[in-house]
Chain A
Amino acid sequence: MQLTGSQIFWEVLMQQGVDVVFGYPGGAIMPIYDALYDVEGKIHHVLVRHEENAALAADAYWRATGRVGVCMATSGPGATNLVTGIANAMMDSSAIVAITGQVASHLVGSDAFQETDMTGITQPITKHNYLVTDINDLARVLVEAFHIAKAGRPGPVLVDICKDVQQKMTEYVPVTEVNLRGYKAAKPPKKQEMPRLLSQAAQLIAAARKPIILAGQGIKHADAHAEFIEFVEKSGIPVTTTLLGIGVLNEDHPQNLRMMGMHGEAYVNNAIADADLLIALGMRFDDRVTGNLKYYAKNAQVIHVDIDPSEIGKNVPADVGICASVKDVLRDLTPMIENHAGGYRAWYARINEWRGDTKAHDVMAYELPPNMMLAPQVIRAIWEETGGDITVCTDVGQHQMWETQYFQHRRKNQLITSGGAGTMGFALPAAIGAKFGRPQDEVWAIAGDGGFQMSIPELQTVMQEKLNIKIAVINNSFLGMVRQWQELMHDRRYSSVNMTSPNFVKLAEAYGMCGMRATNVAEAREVIQRAREHNGPVLMEFVVEQETNVFPMVQPGKALNEMTRREKVPLPAAMGGGMEGVRE
């Protein structure tokens, strides 16, 4: 069959099972958009209002479905606008394929109109990238791109397609096999090494008195939930998760201590600091979870399982490092360990001792003046009113951390958030991508007033696509997280963190969207209820106390268990001074 490069492009996407793409057209990608005209109905194109949001939506689509997200843009500024979203996908190991148009192949290198060296720019923020200058490479390259994006540790792949390649014709032969001799999704330990590593791991587990499991999103990527729960329950070992690991184990589970790290609860970080064995599964010891490495888990031996060989030993030396899929490792390791369900009594008692004072440090325990609402109360209200049975897309900042603390995640993979990159403006485009991935689900975007103002234009995408998503803006009139750092580390010298906002209710109306506002908890509950009853998108503004801090906090450079915590109640009922953190 003779097809143009553009037709081949869509053929391959359909072959890969793609049914939605997020993008924005322009000169160098017009032939592909022209060919899209003929396949609309089979593949839906979502016209975002800024290319960055196409990449973020594609990323969230992947997180919501496990299917590769696709975004596309024209050359030059369209392509460079994708960059933040691609970097976000790289940091969080999201499988996306980013397609960019490029100037015609004979013009490459000539500074032609809207020419930008995209393979150069994205080299450090993609798993791999391609510049396609020959139509006969196109189908193979696209198939490889989808394969590489998903294989092993997932990540973004960029395919930059010259305009003449899109226009030329060739005989299309579907590519069904990927033949990449160099690419090993993982570098598995040699066959004979595996049993030795597993028995070493089993021995360490048998000898440990104070073990703890550090669970990351590698468990999700390996589709190892079942193997993980079996391992957790048979071992009896307490579990803590990374931010992106939230959702690999029900947070109601008695062994789940919940999130660790910079804003993890104190008892979790204390447990890690005191542990004699860390069992790290599909996580990478990011600085946000370790604090100062010099003092990190000094008494612990480390078992580290990750599919990416370069993560093992990168930040924390492993006593037993296993480069393999968590699924395969747990399947073989669980039968090798003793049944310890209900065990580690003394260890749990220790942890529970630390846990005991958590409530007293909780901002929720404070007596608040009437008509004052705290951001954590909004999160708690959303959780309670929805029964927690929603997909949550958070932005970046204080509200993101409160979401982890005050929303009890019981559903698999229900939280979609930007972890490694911390990309403000993530929540709304992520909710758009997630809604396409989970159309039956109730999807919420929760953002701060700062981050939301980075993605306001996408409100119109929501309207154009008639997406029923609920958008909660938590308005503290500050770039809250930066303000908190300035308060705690820069002597309260508030520099460029005051955030004014438009009238969000009127803004919603201008977009033809339902808008509501709440300034106290009773109103908040009512707004949430009404928003859920409303059959369509809603923009909710929650006006909250401006200078509440997220605690506990491991300040940069501090040891993980050297946390700044909120003063215990009882306290002066008035706010202000009482909200300050104290060093433990």
Chain B
Amino acid sequence: MLIDRIEASKNPTKHTLVALVENEPGVLNRVSSLFRRRNFNIDSLAVGTTNDPTVSRMTIVVDTSKTNAALVERNLYKLVNVIDVQDLSAVPAVLREMALIKVHVADNQKRSEIKQVIDLFEAQMVDMTPNSIMVELTGNEEKVDSIIKMLEEYGIKEVVRTGRIAMARG
């Protein structure tokens, strides 16, 4: 296992907030419009449903070198559709991101090298064609950054990252 288990982000300027919001049309727009209007710098915003169908969960990463995370939290509270805001930077939490990476495969030699990288990172190979491999990886951002860096020399065709999702421990 390489580079895993580094739960708390090493980057102290990345602050994680979780907002539980009403699962209603327009709520994502209200949140993103708030960020734009207040000129808040947001690194990533991941939205998804929860076990309660009336509640969605947003994980928001604030770049605190540019934006005061406490002000982001307080402004989120003012939105009528925001039910709760948790600051996960203050508590032990699991922070994760998922990435899909499509890598160019030049020949069999490269293919086996790429497979080694995949194994080393405990990533998955989720699709394969004669000249490409799609890699799926879950981990913290540093881990995702690292595998992308490793795969770059083979030629990356496409990358998608979900942005951080997070949950407090315990």
By a beta-carbon cutoff of 8 Å, the part of chain A in contact with chain B is 119-120, 123-124, 127-128, 148, 180-184, 187, 308-310, 312-314
Contacts and interface: CB of A to CB of B under 8 A. Distances in A.
Interface string B7-39: 000000000000001100010011001000100
Given A123-B30, A124-B33, A308 B71 contact: no
Contact of A309 (B21, B74, B79, B81): B74
B87 to A, nearest CB: 13
B83 interface: yes
A127 to B, nearest CB: 8
A312 B70 CA distance: 10
A367 to B, nearest CB: 51
Contact of B70 (A183, A308, A313): A313
B131 interface: no
Nearest to A152: B78
6 contacts: A123-B29, A123-B33, A182-B80, A310-B77, A313-B71, A314-B71
Nearest to A183: B80
Interface residues of A, dominant DSSP: loop
A182 B22 contact: yes
Contact of B80 (A119, A124, A180): A180
B82 interface: yes
Given A123-B29, A123-B33, A310 B22 contact: no
B146 interface: no
Nearest to B36: A124
Interface in B67-96: 68, 70-71, 74-75, 77-84
A180 B81 CA distance: 8
A179 to B, nearest CB: 12
Contacts of B75: 310
Q: Which 9 A-B pairs have the closest CB atoms?
A: A309-B74, A310-B74, A182-B83, A128-B80, A183-B80, A310-B75, A124-B37, A187-B77, A182-B82
Interface residues of B, number: 20
Given A123-B30, A313-B68, A181 B83 contact: yes
B81 A182 contact: yes
Nearest to A312: B74
A310 B83 contact: no
Given A124-B37, A180-B80, A183-B80, 20 more contacts: A120-B29, A123-B29, A123-B30, A124-B33, A127-B78, A148-B80, A182-B21, A182-B22, A182-B79, A182-B82, A184-B77, A187-B74, A308-B78, A309-B74, A309-B78, A310-B71, A310-B75, A312-B74, A313-B68, A314-B71
A309 B80 contact: no
B78 A310 contact: yes
B54 to A, nearest CB: 9
B129 to A, nearest CB: 40
B20 to A, nearest CB: 8
Contacts of B33: 123-124
A312 B84 CA distance: 19
B132 to A, nearest CB: 39
A127 B80 CA distance: 8
Contacts of A123: 29-30, 33
A119 B30 CA distance: 10
Nearest to B33: A123
Contacts of A182: 21-22, 79-84
A92 B96 CA distance: 42
Contacts of A120: 29
A124 B39 CA distance: 12
From A120, A123, A182, A314, residue with most partner B Cβ within 10 Å = A182
Contacts of B37: 124
A285 B80 CA distance: 25
Contacts of A187: 74, 77
B57 to A, nearest CB: 13
Contacts of B22: 182
Contacts of A314: 71
A128 B78 CA distance: 9
Nearest to B21: A182
Contacts of B68: 313
A148 B21 CA distance: 17
Contacts of A309: 74, 77-78
A310 B75 CA distance: 5
Contacts of B80: 127-128, 148, 180, 182-183
A128 B22 CA distance: 14
A73 B4 CA distance: 59
B17 to A, nearest CB: 14
A359 B22 CA distance: 58
A127 B81 CA distance: 11
Nearest to B81: A182
Nearest to A119: B26
Contacts of A184: 77
Nearest to A155: B78
A136 B81 CA distance: 19
Nearest to A148: B80
Contacts of A310: 71, 74-75, 77-78
A217 to B, nearest CB: 18
Nearest to A124: B37
A465 to B, nearest CB: 35
Nearest to A180: B80
A180 B24 CA distance: 14
A16 to B, nearest CB: 18
A359 B70 CA distance: 45
A184 B82 CA distance: 9
A187 B76 CA distance: 11
Nearest to B29: A123
Nearest to B22: A182
A230 B37 CA distance: 39
A308 B29 CA distance: 22
A124 B75 CA distance: 12
A47 B37 CA distance: 34
A308 B71 CA distance: 11
In this complex, which of B37, B70, B74, B84 has the most chain A Cβ atoms within 10 angstroms of its Cβ? B74
Nearest to B20: A182
A469 to B, nearest CB: 36
Contacts of A183: 80
Nearest to A181: B83
A153 to B, nearest CB: 8
